[in-house]
Structure 1
Amino acid sequence: MTEKIIEYIEQFVKLTDEEKKQVGSCFKEVKIKKRQFIVQPNFTTKHRNYVYKGAFRAYVVGDEGQDHTINFAIDDWWITDYNSYIFQQPATMFVVALEDSIILQIDYEAEQELKRQNHKFETFFRIIAERGLAFQQRRIISNLIHTAEERYENYVLKYPQIVQRVPQYALASFLGMTTEFLSRIRNKRVAKKS
């Protein structure tokens, strides 16, 4: 399974055979059951998780008990509580499996050592951090300037595979609307196609 993570890394930096062995040995395969948590508040996040197969949801719970979806991750995506992982401090969000999944985990110390030993790994982790930051920026801007309907339409166009795999309540939370409102948008969309 480490071939998959190596293949993913090589989309961004080319590795020698020795570097492939080095990075491959740092990732551990973990099978996760649906509804199992891989990150929970108040526990320091020790791993960055590459989703080999499956789907995850990261969310926080507000003071009123309402949860707010921060992110999703499906096959070939990464997920963790990055604030907790990067600063090695207690997590503030939950990360839960939405389906039976397989992840490849790298722990914080192993990642730091890889980056110290080889500039290529530092470059790789910088690139995926930059891509994640750009995604979050697009999301914030979309939430500020688009209507709920536009946010949904844009998300369906850009990430149809996620829309098909995540529960409606989680998608509604991610897009900043109620489940009922999302149902109305979907029903209107279906009616237009008829």
Structure 2
Amino acid sequence: MNVYKGILNHIARYVELSESEIKEFISILKTTRVKKRQFIVQPGFVSEYRNYIVEGSVRVFYLDDLGKEHTVIIAIEDWFFTDFYSYIHRTPAEYYAEALEDSLILQMKYEDVEELCSRIHSLSQYFRLFTERSMAYSYKRTISNISKTSEERYWEYVNKYPQIASRVPQYVLASYLGISPESISRIRSRS
């Protein structure tokens, strides 16, 4: 049950589940260990799982036509990740999800989540509330990316997520913030 503690606490921040609902939810979870640099999602294949990180860190990124990486998600413990468009629409993924560290994840198949949500109102409410908050954050990040300087974006991220900024490689953080690793080095040297 220890491996499920984090995700159950995450759910409990939004809704309350009965013991039987918890057991049903746990029954759809697949525990998977991944090694550093291992891909969990790859373009061309449907993203079968919504993934929750128990231990470790992951990044989700895509490659543009010139082969440049663009990181769209950096996730650590207690975060979800996948290629959500592929996962929801059952279409081939466009993103890679790569473990940045050896990681332990819990995986949920789309069909299993949908089936449980159709029967367990609290679980449906949890996913709705969590999705709404994720969308709100996504909009805020978009505005930050178009209205703030690279230095402002860097310090905003480092101050909000110091535990992530200290763990991930500089090139990953730079890719996520839309700036070069050299710019991060200059920003850090000025502080």
1:160 matches 2:162: yes
Distance 1:114 1:186 in 2: 47
Aligned residue runs from structure 1 range 136-155, under 5 A: 136-155=138-157
Match of 1:115 in 2: 117
The answer as to whether partners of 1:6 and 1:24 remain within 8 angstroms in 2 is no
Secondary structure, aligned partner of 2:101 = coil
Distance 2:60 2:150 in 1: 21
Aligned residue runs from structure 1 range 1-194, under 5 A: 1-189=3-191
Match of 1:192 in 2: none
What displacement does 1:2 show? Answer: 2.2
The answer as to whether partners of 2:17 and 2:123 remain within 8 angstroms in 1 is no
What displacement does 1:145 show? Answer: 0.9
What displacement does 1:62 show? Answer: 0.5
Give structure 2 stretches of 5+ with no counterpart: none
| Identical amino acids, percent of aligned pairs | 46
Distance 1:105 1:77 in 2: 12
Distance 2:131 2:100 in 1: 24
Q: Structure 1 length normalisation: TM-score?
A: 0.95
Distance 2:90 2:132 in 1: 20
Deviations along 1:60-94, one digit per CA (max 9) or x if unpaired, are 00001111011111000000000000101000000
What displacement does 1:127 show? Answer: 1.2
Q: CA RMSD in A?
A: 0.8
Q: How many residues of Structure 1 are paired with residues of Structure 2 in the alignment?
A: 189
The answer as to whether partners of 1:4 and 1:52 remain within 8 angstroms in 2 is yes
What displacement does 1:134 show? Answer: 1.3
Moved over 3 A (4+): none
Distance 1:114 1:9 in 2: 14
Distance 2:180 2:190 in 1: 16
